[in-house]
Amino acid sequence: MLFNNLIRAWLDTSGKDSLLNSITPRLRRLIYRQNGGSMRISSSSSLSPQTDLLTKEEGERQGSQQHLRRRNLRTAFIFWCFVGPLLLGLLVFFFIPIIWSVVLSLSSARSTLSPQGFVGLSNYQAMLTDPNFRQALGTFLVFAVFIVPLTFICALALALLVNSVRFAQGFFRLVFFLPAACSYVLASVIWKVSIFNGTFYGLANQILALFHVAPLQWVFTANPPWYWLVLVTVRLWLQLGLYMIIFLAGLQEIPAELYEAATVDGARRGWQTFRYITFPRLRNASVAILLLNIIAAFQAFDEFFNIMSNGNSILARPPLVYIYQVALIDGNFGYGSAGAIILMFIIVCFTLLQSRILGFGQAE
């Protein structure tokens, strides 16, 4: 009541119009709290209509702030409902295993996932000087030399062919992309057991028989190394459709006006338009495919593990297969973790270097 009396006295001396012009937001909040949530001052005479309007605006402003706060809370709740499971999965299945691999690589861990003793960088030193690991890196290089250019050229040619089709283009895209959805294990088994099984009844030997060529032992002989043909063709069949789609997306982004202008300038359809228009406009797609293909070659496992089995894995054993044998077959998890960390750094450094040289992400 004392506060209201002071306000009424001030109104008598200054006038209600002066109140409307000079009352501050802080004073309005004080009035609001003193009157239990109402801006009205208990007196025999009410405030002017302008003051009632001010009171209404203040209530609407506070109501809008509360509504905005509730909406922000609801938005944050929906955001974490969608993003939370993804972050949890990354934490449990990605970041924690990487951190634990680093811990194991610095420890002695045989037949157990618990560190048994700190050994420092000795696992890394032993892995880098291991002739088997170096041989595995050499196997990767041979595989990359075959699979990277073959995939690039075949995917580009297939994309150009599909892009030139005007009828049932979606059907051909689907047909060529379907192998990418096939399991690597299943395809490797089919290649080994049915196509290149080394007997007269294998599909490859049946084709050779038409030309009076004796059956070949595709996988089980080291000289000549026909197993490289088996390994490269199964990987090529599996990933060709995926990279074709990337090239096809890049082709469909090229404006048709460029080809029309080139025709007006006298350029002929075919090699000239491909060399000066099509291929330069596919620069980012080409660099992306090269990067993905190199990384995929580093991570080759399924086809080597399933095709080069039965004692002949030593003929072609990429880094991942060797690390798998060291860690999960021999039980030396510390040594295997060191190899995995080394391979990860090799992939990262190679990718950064290749991106820098090829200028990935730059304007075309």
Q: What is the 3-state secondary structure (H, E, C) of 151-201?
A: HHHHHHHHHHHHHHCCCCHHHHHHHHHHHHHCCHHHHHHHHHHHHCCCCCC
Per the structure block, which two tokens stand in for 249? 């997306």
- Residue 72 CA to residue 305 CA, distance in Å, equals 52
Q: Is 107 helix (H, G, I), strand (E, B) or coil?
A: strand
Could you tell me which residues are beta bridge partners of residue 107?
118
- pLDDT score for 30: 53
Ranges in the chain, pLDDT < 70: 1-60, 63, 310-311, 360-364
User: Measured between alpha carbons, how far is 140 from 148 in angstroms, rounded to an integer?
Assistant: 11
Sign of CA dihedral 316, 292, 185, 328: positive
Model pLDDT, residue 60: 67
**Which residues, 6+ apart, have CB-to-CB distance to 235 below 8 Å?**
147, 151, 300, 303
Distance CA 10, CA 26 (A): 17
pTM of the model: 0.73
The C-alpha atoms of residue 20 and residue 52 are separated, in whole angstroms, by 10
Give residue 58's pLDDT: 67
CATH number at 122-358: 1.10.3720.10
Rounded Cα distance between 293 and 286, Å, is 10
Query: Would you list the domain boundaries of the chain?
Result: 2-77, 122-358
Contact call for residues 235 and 305 (beta carbons, < 8 A): no
